[in-house]
Structure 1
């Protein structure tokens, strides 16, 4: 059976996300949920819980960054190439509050050679609370056993 012929890019993205999720104790430990995955796109959500608010009684910025970074990671690892963050920056626009459901949508902006650029919007409903930009770097290895699979 020719695996390359049977897996669509969407199938590959889902399979890579499943393999990555199995090992992602940080995202799971914070209660994150992978809502959607496609090639170059990932949507993750996290509910702001009491242990996530700081002294201002708003969601700790580091946790908002972590959610954005996790969405970025799933988006840049969706093509069966292992990729890591080379850089990430965030701009906070509004605070996340206790009980909010934060949704991070990561989109591939550019992918060339071993480098990629991804934008992540973190929102609560229709309100944008943060914008993140991450730069990725492909490293050796793949997520799926057939190393010839490319999306």
Structure 2
């Protein structure tokens, strides 16, 4: 019996969560995944701060990049980043909880565009990230999934 698209996305997310990655080092929390979208959350700690006391841009970027990976691989095609950009709009501070939501915007051929909105616990927009993806010819779960 074959999986639904949603079950397939959840199975891939389960595999990804089982891997030893930067996501775990930074204590990112998986929230949900679906075809072309995903949500992750991370609390800013003192260890994720910069010399000015606000959230380090690299920590925010890592959160956005991680949720991008979940969203763009949700259709059982090994997909990698081919480019990305981030805009920091407001600071976050230790104690803030950031939520990153990725959404597929469209694409052509093997190329895709994903927008990620990063908000804090008050739903204030902290950063936006646009990721460009490139799908390979390989699958994550195998051909018969």
TM-score range, shorter chain: over 0.9
Q: 1:80, 1:24 → 2: CA distance?
A: 20
Q: 2:135, 2:36 → 1: CA distance?
A: 13
Q: TM-score if structure 2 supplies the norm length?
A: 0.95
Point out where structure 2 has 5 or more consecutive residues left out of the alignment.
none
- Does the alignment pair 1:19 with 2:15? yes
Mapping for residues 1-150 of structure 1, pairs under 5 Å:
2-3=1-2, 7-124=3-120, 125-145=122-142, 147-149=143-145
Q: TM-score if structure 1 supplies the norm length?
A: 0.91
Deviation at 1:141, TM superposition (A): 2.0
Q: Assess if the C-alpha contact under 8 Å between 1:58 and 1:97 holds in 2.
A: yes
- What RMSD, in angstroms, separates the aligned Cα atoms of the two structures? 1.1
Deviation at 1:24, TM superposition (A): 4.5
Question: Aligned with 1:23: secondary structure?
Answer: coil
Number of aligned residue pairs: give it.
Answer: 144
After superposing on structure 2, the runs of 4+ consecutive aligned residues of structure 1 that deviate more than 4 Å are: none
Q: 2:47, 2:75 → 1: CA distance?
A: 34
Q: 1:135, 1:82 → 2: CA distance?
A: 14
Q: Assess if the C-alpha contact under 8 Å between 1:20 and 1:143 holds in 2.
A: no
